[in-house]
Amino acid sequence: MRCRHSPKWKAWTLTITRSAYSSGISLVRCAARAIAILRQTQETLLKIPVPLEQGFPIQQAGIKPSRALSYELHTSASSDAIAQTVSLIFANTGSQAAVFHVYDKLHLERVPRRYVVEAGKHLDDVWVLDNSDAGHFDLWVLGPNGYHRAFAGELIQGNSATAPEIRVCYDITYGNVIVTLMNNSDRPCVFNVSAKAYRLLTELFPSVNNFLASSR
Question: pTM for this one?
Answer: 0.60
Mean pLDDT of 159-165: 72
Least confident residue range of 6-10, 39-43, 83-87, 194-198 = 6-10
- How many Å apart are CA 75 and CA 124, to the nearest integer? 9
- Cβ–Cβ under 8 Å, residues 116 and 99: yes
Biggest CA-to-CA distance, the chain: 92
Q: Which residue has the higher pLDDT, 50 or 8?
A: 50
- How many Å apart are CA 122 and CA 41, to the nearest integer? 60
Dihedral angle, C-alpha 55, 57, 59, 61, nearest 10 °: 70
- Cβ–Cβ under 8 Å, residues 18 and 25: yes
Residue type, 72: E
Q: Which residue has the higher pLDDT, 119 or 63?
A: 119
pLDDT value, residue 160? 61
Least confident residue range of 52-66, 67-81, 109-123 = 52-66
pLDDT value, residue 190? 84
- pLDDT tens for residues 111-127? 999 999 999 999 999 99
Give 11's Cβ-side CA count (13 Å radius). Answer: 12
Query: What size, in residues, is the chain?
Result: 216
Does the structure show a pLDDT above 80 at 214? no
First-last CA distance in the chain: 62
Does the structure show a pLDDT above 90 at 6? no
